[in-house]
């Protein structure tokens, strides 16, 4: 398999991953994958149009969605009126993704505590039956949150 065939296959696999991971429409996921994989400094609207073979309105809609989600940004070159699209700063993207997951973990911890408090007050038997399970689960959540926080700090330190 040559480089271009490998690249097309990787873009397709990465596109499917982005569809599932970020609930992106297929075209937006493939454009994002193309931007992740490209060796070029950035891709123009026309580059995306040629590479994806979709309509101008579909490409435009997908690029605007990716811009709104802060997955990509654009820049211009002196003397060139075209916009060039590239992925947002990689470290910032990773930190944002980790922060979203951390928020979900914190929300989960809060809800588990509320359910436990309710059961302790109104259903002592259920509270007692689930006490050890809750303890183990909460320890897992706390350990995971600590790892995420440490990773975020490490990524931010790389930026400096």
Complete DSSP assignment for 7-59: HHHHHHHHHHHHHHHH---HHHHHHHHHHHH--SS-EEHHHHHHHH---HHHH
Task: Give the Cβ contact number of residue 96 at 10 Å.
Answer: 16
Q: Is residue 46 within 8 Å of residue 63, measured between CB atoms?
A: no
pLDDT band of 27, cuts 50, 70, 90 = very high
Query: What does the alpha-carbon distance between residue 28 and residue 21 come to, in Å, rounded to a whole number?
Result: 13
Report the chain's mean pLDDT, rounded to a whole number.
Answer: 93
Same domain, 108 and 133: yes
Q: Which of 62, 88, 114 is the endpoint of a domain? A: 88
CA dihedral for 110, 112, 116, 122, sign (positive or negative): positive
Residue position matching structure tokens 């579909």 = 58
Query: What does the alpha-carbon distance between residue 28 and residue 34 come to, in Å, rounded to a whole number?
Result: 10
Same domain, 147 and 126: yes
Between CA 32 and CA 42, with CA 37 as vertex, the angle to 5 degrees is 70
Strands (E), 52-143: 72-77, 80-87
Residue 127 scores a pLDDT above 70: yes
Q: pTM higher than 0.75 for the full model? A: no
Q: Is residue 153 within 8 Å of residue 145, measured between CB atoms?
A: no
Same domain, 68 and 55: yes
pLDDT band of 97, cuts 50, 70, 90 = confident
pLDDT at 103: 96
Query: CA nearest 73: which of 35, 38, 99, 100?
Result: 35
Beta bridge partners of 14: none
- DSSP label at 86? E
Q: Which of 68, 88, 108 is the endpoint of a domain? A: 88
Q: Which of 88, 111, 135 is the endpoint of a domain? A: 88
Number of domains in the chain: 2
Residue 1 scores a pLDDT above 90: no
Same domain, 76 and 114: no
Residue 53 falls in which region: left (phi positive, over 0), alpha (psi -120 to 50) or beta = left
Same domain, 75 and 104: no
pLDDT at 91: 61
Residue 64 lies in domain: 3-88
Same domain, 12 and 74: yes
């Amino acid at each position: 398999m040559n480089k271009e065939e490998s690249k097309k296959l990787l873009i397709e696999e990465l596109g499917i991953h982005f569809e599932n991971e970020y609930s992106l429409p297929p075209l937006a996921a493939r454009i994002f994958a193309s931007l992740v994989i490209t060796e070029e400094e950035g891709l123009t609207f026309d580059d995306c149009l040629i590479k994806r073979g979709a309509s101008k309105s579909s490409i435009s809609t997908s690029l605007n969605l990716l811009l709104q989600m802060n997955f990509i940004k654009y820049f211009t070159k002196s003397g060139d009126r075209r916009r060039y699209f590239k992925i947002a700063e990689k470290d910032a993207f990773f930190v944002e993704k980790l922060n979203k997951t951390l928020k979900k973990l914190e929300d989960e911890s809060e809800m588990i505590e509320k359910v436990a408090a309710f059961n302790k007050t109104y259903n002592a038997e259920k509270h007692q039956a689930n006490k050890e399970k809750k303890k183990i689960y909460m320890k897992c959540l706390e350990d995971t949150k600590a790892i995420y926080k440490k990773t975020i700090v490490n990524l931010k330190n790389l930026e400096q």
